[in-house]
Structure 1
Amino acid sequence: MGRRHSLQSDRKLLLGLIETCREVIARHADHLCELDRAIGDGDHGTNMRRGFDAVFLERESLCGLPLALALERIGMTLVMNIGGASGPLYGTLLIEMGRRFGARESRPTFDTILSEAIDAVARRGRSQEGDKTLLDVLYPVQTEVARKSALIRIADTATESAALTAGMKAMRGRASFLGDRSIGHVDPGASSCALLASAICHHLMEYQPA
């Protein structure tokens, strides 16, 4: 009975997170495109919305999977539907998290799983913190997770970190071709990452198990 209750709770949580992420991206898609028009192709919001719409369409089958497999499947769906540079980066994050959650030989803590997945994103994008990418949100968020900070602090850190990318010079992607002209603009990938991280934190704060 206890295990069945746990599965129902896990399913409710994952479904809620999928719906939350889709909603926040849809609500801010136009703004993300506006940010991207300043230093990129102008389609980041459109691409992100397409990816999370695709995940939403698969929500019932995803919620029937163990968490590790669900994360991997979501990651692959994002890779195939977001496109551009962001698809592989978001996809890598979730795929690597899923693989580490599913590892049987060890029981890593969540902050370790997140740290290793973020490092995989950095390798995939051949970038590092300070290059004006979503890593400039992911690494500060991971630091707060490792500190066991309150969810509201993690959410605030994500938002603050995205804003700080306005003062950075882009070193990767299409924005890097602008050189110093990329300074003064918030990175759209960092912005979408902050929106998602903050929305997830707020959902977890309000979540009540079934």
Structure 2
Amino acid sequence: MNRTELVVRTIAETAIANEKYFGDLDAVVGDGDFGYSLARGFEKLLDGWDDLDRTDSGTFLKRCGMTIASRIGGTSGPLWGTAFLRAGAAAVDPLDRARVVTMLRAAIDGIKARGQSDLGDKTLLDALVPFTDFLEKSDDISGAAQAARQAAEATSSMVAKRGRAAYTGERSRGSVDAGAMAVAVIAERISDVWQGAGS
């Protein structure tokens, strides 16, 4: 399994393993289906894992994106699917840190456009952007994961401006954003797996 496959499989397995946790976070101000939707979508990805086109990293990521977009329910499917599709479009093998950062920037731009959201709106971007910013300056993936965790925890002081949580206004303050925390948890797991694989 190459590094791209390792990262995607880790994302999928982490989303499935944290279904209840992510759902509980979402239930505070959302409808609570985030964990369920994410887990079901990534289960579908793993179900068809062996049949995914592995011609190159870009093709693989785009195939993953199409599966995710069609299988994850609610607003999460289009956002996560778009992130994979945009990252895949920016992928050029062999991948290095600079190229990965470019792919993450492309994913971020896709999420911003699709979700009509930006940094500070209390979404997954509030963890994904700091993670990417850190990775751009350093190859310390553990440090990047810590940056994502700190940023995700900081969303508790924000008022949601996008998604179902936005309807709750000030009531959304005081709880972390489920999408941002999902990015942080996934980043931490990727860090563990990456280092275990001998980066």
Normalization by structure 1: what TM-score?
Answer: 0.86
Q: 2:90–2:102: 8 Å Cα contact kept in structure 1?
A: no
**1:144-155 maps to which residues of 2 (within 5 A)?**
144-155=134-145
Match for residue 79 of structure 2?
89
1:137 and 2:121 correspond: no
Q: Using the aligned pairs only, state the percent identity.
A: 34
Provide the residue aligned with 1:46 in structure 2. Answer: 36
Whether contact under 8 Å (1:15, 1:59) holds in the other structure is: no
Q: Distance in 2 between matches of 1:110 and 1:45?
A: 26
What amino acid maps onto 1:165 in structure 2?
T
Match of residue 147 from structure 2: 157
Question: Contact 2:16 / 2:40 at 8 angstroms: preserved in 1?
Answer: no
Q: How far does the alpha carbon of each residue in 1:33-80 deviate from its partner, in whole angstroms, 9 at most, with x for none?
A: 111111111111110100111111121122633110110011111111
Residues 61 and 87 in structure 2, CA contact (< 8 A), matched pair in contact too: yes
**TM-score, normalisation: structure 2:** 0.90
- Counterpart of 1:75 (choices 49, 60, 65) is 65
The match for 1:6 is none
Aligned residues: 195
1:34 to 15, 24, 27: 24
Name the SS of the counterpart of 1:194 in structure 2: helix
Aligned-partner Cα distance in 2 for 1:170–1:89: 17
User: CA 1:156–1:15 in structure 2 vs 1: closer, same or farther (change >3 Å)?
Assistant: same
Q: Which has the higher contact order (CA 8 A, sep 6+)?
A: 1
Q: Distance in 2 between matches of 1:163 and 1:156?
A: 11
The answer to whether structure 1 residue 193 and structure 2 residue 167 are counterparts is: no
Of 77-86 and 16-25, deviating more is: 16-25
Alpha-carbon RMSD across the aligned residues, in angstroms, is: 1.9
Q: 1:178 to 1:45 in 2, by over 3 A?
A: same
8 Å contact 1:69–1:102 — kept in the other structure? Answer: no
- AA in 2 matched with 1:171: K
Matched, 1:66 2:60: no
Q: What is the alpha-carbon distance in structure 1 between the residues aligned to residue 67 and residue 92 of structure 2?
A: 18
Give the whole-Å Cα distance in 2 for the aligned partners of 1:46 and 1:113. 27
Cα deviation, residue 15, structure 1 = 4.2
Pick which of 12-21 and 186-195 moved more.
12-21
| Structure 2: segments with no counterpart, 5+ residues | none
Structure 1 residue 208, shift from structure 2 partner:
4.5
The aligned runs of 1:106-185 (5 Å cut-off) are: 109-185=99-175
Return the offset for 1:164.
0.9
Counterpart of 1:17 in structure 2 is 7
Give the gaps of 5 or more residues in structure 1. Answer: 1-10
Q: Distance in 1 between matches of 2:82 and 2:37?
A: 16
Equivalent in the alignment of 2:197: 207
Q: By how many angstroms is 1:127 displaced?
A: 0.6
